[in-house]
């Protein structure tokens, strides 16, 4: 998505309402233990998304996860092994077949992860439907778990394609709020508190270090470093118990929010195009 396209979407009369709904979803979904473990930073979240989409075609293996990590340019292939171990540890994946000869071990999403991840996709699409009401057709189809899984897998594929062409991974906002442990959850918590008559992310929001620490599951020192760095990079201003995003941060917030909302709508459109004219049942092949 070009900056011009993101700006155009941000000018939509329903954008602020949709953005606020999306970030409330992010915070509410983090109540699920498996989602809480994934939403602390972009690396773990993206690794889970990649694993989910890889399962669509041949199952999840370490070599396939390595290749997907390299394609995103977000993580090195060498990090895939530790990511696989983490996804197993927090209950995202389970091993379905052992390594045998030249055949690699194969992994699959757990039922609890399927439910949590598809719920995240559904509620995110509900937020996006504020921009395009036709998306409610797909929201209702996601009552069927088979369709919901197909949607989430396709969304993961689109996410991989988007990351592969994205730029700016080393910019301060991305480095601190997307890649830093706890940064992603802190960002979602603060943006979920956005309110008022103005445009999204313009108003100051309540800010309390103790709440950040508890919500993000990070140490006091980690939280201090995160916001000290955000202050020094000119990403936020903090006065007492209120935090305000600077113009630089707001640019990234609007872009990433627009990117996610459009991604959900594009996936919904692709699913409708694929199944147009068909009667969806649980037995429909996906």
Quick check: 239 and 106 in contact, CB under 8 A? Answer: no
* For residue 186, pLDDT beyond 80: yes
Q: Quick one: CA dihedral 125, 128, 133, 135, positive or negative?
A: negative
- pLDDT band, residue 42 (cuts 50/70/90): confident
Tokens encoding 136: 């409610």
pLDDT of amino acid 284: 46
Complete DSSP assignment for 61-114: -HHHHHHHHHHHTSS-GGGHHHHHHHHHHTTSEEEEE--BTTBPPEEEE-HHHH
Residue 251 lies in a domain: yes
Quick check: 199 and 16 in contact, CB under 8 A? Answer: yes
Residue 129 vs residues 9, 16, 148, 265: alpha-carbon distances, Å: 13, 13, 16, 8
Angle at 123 (CA atoms; ends 119, 126), nearest 5 degrees: 145
Across 76-90, 128-142, 185-199, 217-231, least confident range: 76-90
User: What's the pTM value of the predicted model, to 2 decimals?
Assistant: 0.86
Quick check: 43 and 74 in contact, CB under 8 A? Answer: yes
Across 9-23, 45-59, 225-239, least confident range: 45-59
d(CA 172, CA 175): 5
Residue 118 lies in a domain: yes
Q: Indicate left, alpha or beta for 230 from its phi (over 0: left) and psi (-120 to 50: alpha).
A: alpha
* Model confidence pLDDT, tens digit, residues 75-117: 777 788 888 898 899 888 999 888 877 788 999 999 988 998 9
* Model confidence pLDDT, tens digit, residues 119-147: 999 999 999 999 999 999 999 999 998 89
Residue 242 lies in a domain: yes
Residue 73 lies in a domain: no
Residue 43 lies in a domain: no
* For residue 212, pLDDT beyond 70: yes
Quick check: 257 and 22 in contact, CB under 8 A? Answer: yes
- Residue, of 253 and 171, whose pLDDT is higher: 253
Q: What total number of domains does the chain contain?
A: 1
Quick check: 36 and 116 in contact, CB under 8 A? Answer: no
Tokens encoding 20: 């606020």
Domain extent at residue 152: 3-33+111-275
pLDDT of amino acid 283: 45
Cα radius of gyration rounded to whole Å, the chain: 19
* For residue 286, pLDDT beyond 60: no
* For residue 165, pLDDT beyond 70: no
Residue 58 lies in a domain: no
Residue 161 vs residues 49, 98, 164: alpha-carbon distances, Å: 12, 30, 5
Residue 209 lies in a domain: yes
Length of the chain: 286
Residue 24 lies in a domain: yes
């Amino acid at each position: 998505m070009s900056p011009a396209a993101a700006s155009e979407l941000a000018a939509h009369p329903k954008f602020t309402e949709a953005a606020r709904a999306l970030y409330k979803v992010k915070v509410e979904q983090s109540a699920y233990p498996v989602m809480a473990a994934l939403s602390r930073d972009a690396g773990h979240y993206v690794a889970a998304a990649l694993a989910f989409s890889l399962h669509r075609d041949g199952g999840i293996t370490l070599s396939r996860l390595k290749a997907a990590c390299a394609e995103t340019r977000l993580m090195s292939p060498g990090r895939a092994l530790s990511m696989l171990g983490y996804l197993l540890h927090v209950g995202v994946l389970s091993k379905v077949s052992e390594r045998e000869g030249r055949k690699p071990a194969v992994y699959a999403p757990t039922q609890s992860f399927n439910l949590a991840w598809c719920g995240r996709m559904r509620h995110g699409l509900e937020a996006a439907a504020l921009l395009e009401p036709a998306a409610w057709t797909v929201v209702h189809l996601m009552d069927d778990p088979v369709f919901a899984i197909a949607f989430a897998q396709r969304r993961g594929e689109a996410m991989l394609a988007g990351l592969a062409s994205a730029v700016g991974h080393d910019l301060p906002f991305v480095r601190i709020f997307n890649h830093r442990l706890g940064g992603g959850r802190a960002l979602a918590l603060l943006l979920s508190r956005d309110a008022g008559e103005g445009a999204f992310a313009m108003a100051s929001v309540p800010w309390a270090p103790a709440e950040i620490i508890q919500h993000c599951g990070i140490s006091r020192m980690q939280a201090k470093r995160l916001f000290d760095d955000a202050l020094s990079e000119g990403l936020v201003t903090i006065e007492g118990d209120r935090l305000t995003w600077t113009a630089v941060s707001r640019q990234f917030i609007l872009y990433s929010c627009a990117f996610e909302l459009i991604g959900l709508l594009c996936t919904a459109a692709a699913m409708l195009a694929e199944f147009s004219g068909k009667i969806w049942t649980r037995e429909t092949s996906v």
